[in-house]
A = this chain, B = another copy of it.
Amino acid sequence: MTIKIFGHKAPDTDATCSALIWEWYLREVQGKEARACVQDPPNSEARFVLERWGVGMPETLGPLQPGDEVVIVDTNNPAELPDNINEAEIAEVIDHHLLAGGLKTRAPIKMTLRPVAATATVMHWLIGRDMDRAPDAIRGLMLSCILSDTLEFRSPTTTPTDRKVAESLAAALKIDIPAYAAEMFAAKSDVSAFSDAELLTMDSKLFEIDGHRLRVSVLETTAPAVVLERKAGLMAAMGEVAARDGAERVLLFIVDILNEEATLLVPDEMVRTIAEKSFGIPASGDTVVLPGVMSRKKQIIPNLRV
C-alpha cells in the first residue's frame, strides 16, 4: 500500500515541499511506495517554488480510509489534519511545532520534533549522508522551505542550524539567497487572485486564548500596502470567516517581511483590547503597527491576552 505523506491544511511552502522531500527519501533511499499529497491547494509561494524547481504539484489528499498508512509532516495538531486521522496508521511524524496533544497511535511510531524553523531542516538531519543522493530539485525544495519559514533568516524562529543548512544548500546549487528569496516573497505577496475571505484563511490557525477561540491569521508580504488597500473588504469578511469555525474573532497580522514589523487589523473594541493587552501598544485607529513582530509561533501566540 502506498504511504501518503502530507502536511497541515492550507499548505505553505514547508508543508507542501517537505512532503515532497520525504516522498523522495522514502522512494529513492528507502525503496518504499510513497506519495506526497496536499490537503488544500498550496499557497502562491509554494506554487512558485514547485515551478522553479520543475516539481509537479502533489495530488490532493482524498478522504482517508481507516488503515491507510500515513506520514505527517510540518504539524502534529489534529485540528490541522483530516478528521479521522487517528483511524489511520500513522507511521511517522516529522515536525517543528509545539506538541499539540491529541494525536494518538495504536502502535509505536517514529516521531521526530525539533525546535528549528522548518520541517525541511529536521529532514536534512534525518536524511544525513543520503543527502549526497538528493537531486538538485530536492535540495532546492529544502532551501525554499527554510527561506520561507525563516523569512530569509529574519524570523526569530531561525536557529544557527537552519541558516547553516540553507547556506550549504544554496552554495551547492549556486543560488544567490537574497535574489532567490526576493522572488519567493514576491510570489507570496501576489495576492490579487484571492478573495478577502481566502486571504483571511490562507495562513491561519485556531487557538484557544484565555478561554476565547480565535483565528490567528498571518499574511507575510513584501508589499503590505497592497493588502492594506483591501482593509475594508478584509474587515467586512471577518465575521463570516470567524463564524465558520465558531471563533469569536479573526486576528489578521500583515507581516512586512522587509521592514520586519506586523500590522494588526483592528475592526472593533475587542480586537483593540487584545492589541493593547497583548502588545502594550494603544490602538487608536483601525490598524496597529507592531515593530519587530514576524513570528506567530514565537511572538504572537505567546503574548496573546484577551
The reply to whether B113 and A109 form a contact with Cβ atoms under 8 Å apart is: yes
A271 interfacial contact with B, CB 8 Å: no
The reply to whether A113 and B115 form a contact with Cβ atoms under 8 Å apart is: no
Query: Please, which residues of chain B bring their CB within 8 A of the CB of A105?
Result: 98-99
A102 interfacial contact with B, CB 8 Å: yes
Residue from A102, A103, A107 whose CB has the most chain B CB atoms within 10 Å: A107
User: How far, in angstroms, from A114 to B109 measured CA to CA in the complex?
Assistant: 6
| A96-B108, A108-B297 known, 8 other contacts, Cβ within 8 Å | A93-B99, A98-B108, A101-B101, A101-B103, A107-B115, A109-B113, A110-B114, A112-B112
User: How far, in angstroms, from A20 to B102 measured CA to CA in the complex?
Assistant: 29
A104 interfacial contact with B, CB 8 Å: yes
A–B Cβ pairs within 8 angstroms, 24 of them: A90-B99, A93-B99, A96-B108, A98-B104, A98-B105, A98-B108, A98-B109, A99-B103, A99-B104, A99-B109, A99-B111, A100-B104, A101-B102, A101-B103, A101-B104, A102-B102, A106-B302, A107-B115, A108-B113, A108-B114, A108-B115, A110-B114, A111-B111, A111-B113
> Interface size for chain A: under 10, 10 to 19, 20 to 34, or 35 or more residues?
20 to 34
User: How far, in angstroms, from A112 to B112 measured CA to CA in the complex?
Assistant: 5
Given contacts A111-B111, A111-B112, A111-B113, contact A98 B106 (CB under 8 A): yes
User: How far, in angstroms, from A110 to B113 measured CA to CA in the complex?
Assistant: 5
Number of copies: 2
A117 CB → nearest B CB, Å = 10
A46 CB → nearest B CB, Å = 21
A95 CB → nearest B CB, Å = 8
A108 CB → nearest B CB, Å = 4
A79 CB → nearest B CB, Å = 13
Query: Please, which residues of chain B bring their CB within 8 A of the CB of A98?
Result: 104-109
| Binary interface encoding of chain A residues 70-109 relative to chain B, with 1 for a CB under 8 A from any of its CBs, else 0 | 0000000000000000000010010011111111111111
User: How far, in angstroms, from A113 to B115 measured CA to CA in the complex?
Assistant: 15
User: How far, in angstroms, from A108 to B102 measured CA to CA in the complex?
Assistant: 16
Query: Please, which residues of chain B bring their CB within 8 A of the CB of A113?
Result: 108-112
Query: Please, which residues of chain B bring their CB within 8 A of the CB of A96?
Result: 108
Query: Please, which residues of chain B bring their CB within 8 A of the CB of A112?
Result: 111-113
A248 CB → nearest B CB, Å = 21
Residue from A103, A108, A111 whose CB has the most chain B CB atoms within 10 Å: A108
Query: Please, which residues of chain B bring their CB within 8 A of the CB of A102?
Result: 101-102
| Binary interface encoding of chain A residues 104-148 relative to chain B, with 1 for a CB under 8 A from any of its CBs, else 0 | 111111111111000000000000000000000000000000000
Query: Please, which residues of chain B bring their CB within 8 A of the CB of A100?
Result: 104
Query: Please, which residues of chain B bring their CB within 8 A of the CB of A101?
Result: 101-104
- Complex: chain B residue closest to A301, CB-CB: B106
Query: Please, which residues of chain B bring their CB within 8 A of the CB of A297?
Result: 108
